[in-house]
């Protein structure tokens, strides 16, 4: 019988996505995933770091209102709460990520102490969290938990040399098709990142072959490839499966769609859903997120249809 995972630990950035129209929405992949899990009735623990500023106060108020624990949220007197500028081009988000943010300085000792308060067996993190001093805390946590890695290639904040240890031996790795090609290009052709950017996307058969090679090379147990409107592909020891997303009739933006997908895949692990069911439900929820502004719905009613349909009560 497969291992049953308890409520997960989520590690990394928490920040505000600042849009061109002047609006500001809470974000950061780990925060978004934690927000969704809490919305679905799970009890995640978010380990991050914020400044001692008005943005941090707003964040803590939002977390309290949502019922999301801030017990592992560290305070930094020297660095600001994270911010990212989001520009939408044909509905696709383009991010300008500021350096020297509070989440770059997550303290290892405090992170390990906070994690020890929970009976968790599963750790979720992105790849942006490893760009600063937080990397030491992340690597310490990775030694203790089964790990779900959400690849976020955000130039210039990634290097192949730093990326590989984050993927090696992970229980789950999720990335999109372009990220798969970029990592494959970096591994097979040195630092040739332009190859992926300038080449057409391969068909599904070629994409799976590239993914299988990466999975074997880095000893990844389960590899998930998201493909936007083309759906998603899941590679496990049992084989390859895929699923198509529902049509999005009223697209607002795609900010946070990948994080929504990850949250439901994690929820599937917590609930021990069949993998194909998790994949389809993750695509359904990601499509729903694309109908609203930003990554974090502010009303519980957004989750109610999914809670009812998936019998989460």
CB 233 within 8 A of CB 207: yes
User: What integer pLDDT is reported at residue 153 of this predicted model?
Assistant: 84
pLDDT at position 20 is 84
| Digit-coded pLDDT (tens) for 145-188 | 999 999 988 777 777 777 888 999 999 999 999 999 989 988 87
Say what the pLDDT of residue 198 is: 56
DSSP character for 313?
-
Q: What is the 3-state secondary structure (H, E, C) of 185-220?
A: HHHHCCCCCHHHHHCCCCCHHHHHHHHHHHHHHCCC
Q: Mark the ranges of the chain whose per-residue pLDDT is less than 50.
A: 1-2, 190-193, 195-197
Report d(CA 46, CA 157) in Å as an integer.
22
CA distance 118 to 123: 12
pLDDT score at 3:
53
- Distances from the Cα of 167 to the Cα of 14, 85, 112, angstroms: 21, 27, 21
Q: How many C-beta atoms surround the C-beta of residue 235 within 10 A?
A: 22
Cα 73 to the chain's mean position, in Å? 18
**Residue pLDDT, tens place only, 87-114:** 877 766 787 888 999 999 999 999 999 9
Any idea what DSSP says for residue 248? -
Three-state secondary structure call for residue 11: strand
The answer to whether residues 204 and 190 touch, using CB atoms and an 8 Å cutoff, is: no
Residue 23 CA, chain-centre distance (Å), reads 22
Q: In this structure, are strands 122-126 and 92-97 parallel, antiparallel, or unpaired?
A: unpaired
* Mean predicted lDDT score pLDDT of the chain: 90
Is residue 222 helix, strand or coil? strand
Going along the chain from its start, the domains and CATH numbers come out as 10-300 (3.40.1190.20)
Residue 189 burial (CB count, 10 A): 12
**Residue among 108, 99, 131, 141 nearest 15 (CA):** 99
Residues in contact with 113: Cβ distance below 8 Å, sequence separation at least 6, in sequence order: none
What local confidence, expressed as pLDDT, does residue 255 receive?
Answer: 81
């Amino acid at each position: 019988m497969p291992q049953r995972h308890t409520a997960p630990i989520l590690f990394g950035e928490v920040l505000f996505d600042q849009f061109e129209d002047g609006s500001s929405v809470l974000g950061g992949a780990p925060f978004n995933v934690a927000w969704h899990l809490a919305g679905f009735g799970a009890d995640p623990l978010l380990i991050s770091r914020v400044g001692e500023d008005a943005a941090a106060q707003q964040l803590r108020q939002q977390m309290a209102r949502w019922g999301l624990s801030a017990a592992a949220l560290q305070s930094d007197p020297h660095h600001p709460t994270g911010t990212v500028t989001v520009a939408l081009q044909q509905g696709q988000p383009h991010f300008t990520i500021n350096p020297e943010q509070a989440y770059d300085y997550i303290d290892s000792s405090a992170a390990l102490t906070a994690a020890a308060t929970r009976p968790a067996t599963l750790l979720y993190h992105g790849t942006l969290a490893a760009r600063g001093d937080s990397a030491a805390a992340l690597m310490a946590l990775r030694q203790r938990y089964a790990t779900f890695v959400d690849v976020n290639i955000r130039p210039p904040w990634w290097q192949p040399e730093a990326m590989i240890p984050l993927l090696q031996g992970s229980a789950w790795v999720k990335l999109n098709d372009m990220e798969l090609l970029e990592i494959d290009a970096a591994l097979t052709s040195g630092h040739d990142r332009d190859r992926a950017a300038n080449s057409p996307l391969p068909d599904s058969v070629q994409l799976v072959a590239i993914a299988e090679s990466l999975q074997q090379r880095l000893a990844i147990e389960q590899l998930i490839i998201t493909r936007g409107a083309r759906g998603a592909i899941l590679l496990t020891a049992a084989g390859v499966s895929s699923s198509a997303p529902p049509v999005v009739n009223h697209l607002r933006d795609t900010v946070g769609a990948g994080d929504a997908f990850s949250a439901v895949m994690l929820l599937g692990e917590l609930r021990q859903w069949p993998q194909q069911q998790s994949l389809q439900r993750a695509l359904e929820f990601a499509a729903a997120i694309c109908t609203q502004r930003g990554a974090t719905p502010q009303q519980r009613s957004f989750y109610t249809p999914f809670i009812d349909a998936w019998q989460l009560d």
